[in-house]
Amino acid sequence: MSTTVTFSREIANLLHAAGGTPVSACMQCGTCSGTCPVGDFMDVRPQRLIRMIDAGLKDKVMATRAFWYCASCYQCTVRCPRGIDIAELMYGLKRYTIWKNQYPEDLIGPAFSETFVKTIVRTGRSYEPVLATSYFFTLGLKEMLAEAQNATMLMLKGRLPVLPARIKRLENFKRMIKRIIPIGD
Ligand code: SF4
Ligand code: SF4
């Protein structure tokens, strides 16, 4: 017997895995939207996004950019009277849309996130020069030159590493990561 898992159930599972309260507990008070510092830049504010998830509007949710604009400040999570971890929900939605390979094409966020995770898995540390490649070529010529100039200055001052660093006991770290992310050997 096959069981179809609804979109709102899938998202509830993502939140449950993070130990969070399900979005169905939302009472639409609007505190999250009112408190969000980047709400003005989002196409859909957190309160409405939660209502859309609860209503099972999968395609509309997947097409929004709201969670890619989330600054992970956790103000909404701290203030939600129903204890919904909205910041974690935003992370969950990012992971979900990358997993489904379904997000607006012109977004930098998915490529940036993927590059970040791969870099961490490979060396155990973030390495900015590689991360920059995920957005560098989306810039205009003027911005590219300004970014290159800034990066050179930072390198000369020792604030940006020339070569990537590796953590000690990298194999132990990879074994640990493998339990949560399916990575190759
Ligand atoms: S603060 Fe919590 S209860 Fe209020 S609208 Fe946002 S998610 Fe719903
Ligand atoms: S965690 Fe994200 S959604 Fe929540 S208030 Fe901060 S920026 Fe807004």
The verdict on 75 and 127 lying in the same domain is no
In a domain, 127, yes or no: yes
Amino acid at 43: D
Name the domain boundary from 50, 79, 99.
99
74-106 confidence digits (pLDDT tens): 999 999 999 999 999 998 899 889 888 888 888
What is the domain range of residue 167? 109-178
Atom of ligand 2 nearest to the CA of 66: 3
Q: For position 67, what pLDDT does the model report? A: 94
Looking at residue 74, which CATH number applies to its domain? 1.10.1060.10
The verdict on 85 and 137 lying in the same domain is no
Name the domain boundary from 78, 99, 120.
99
Rounded mean pLDDT of 6-30? 82
Cα(38) to ligand 2 centroid in Å equals 7
Q: 58 near 100, Cβ under 8 Å?
A: no
| Pocket perturbation via mutation, ligand 2, pick of 72, 79, 88, 93 by most ligand atoms within 8 A of CB | 72
Cα(163) to ligand 2 centroid in Å equals 34
Handedness of CA 86, 116, 66, 105 (dihedral sign): negative
d(CA 162, CA 153): 12
29-62 confidence digits (pLDDT tens): 999 999 999 999 999 999 999 999 999 999 999 9
Q: What is the DSSP letter of 137?
A: T
Cα(36) to ligand 2 centroid in Å equals 5
Q: What is the DSSP letter of 40?
A: G
Cα(158) to ligand 1 centroid in Å equals 44
Percent of the chain past pLDDT 70, that is, above it, reads 94
Pocket of ligand 1 from Cβ distances under 6 Å: 26-32, 46-47, 50, 80-82, 84, 86
The domain total for the chain is 2
Name the domain boundary from 43, 73, 99.
99
The rounded mean pLDDT for the chain is: 88
d(CA 72, CA 76): 9
The verdict on 77 and 50 lying in the same domain is yes
Q: 139 near 147, Cβ under 8 Å?
A: yes
Name the residue at shortest CA distance from atom 4 of ligand 2: 76
Query: Angle at which helices 170-178 and 109-123 pack, to 10 degrees?
Result: 130
Cα(86) to ligand 2 centroid in Å equals 7
Q: For position 8, what pLDDT does the model report? A: 83
Which pLDDT band, with edges at 50, 70 and 90, does 13 fall under?
confident
The verdict on 93 and 128 lying in the same domain is no
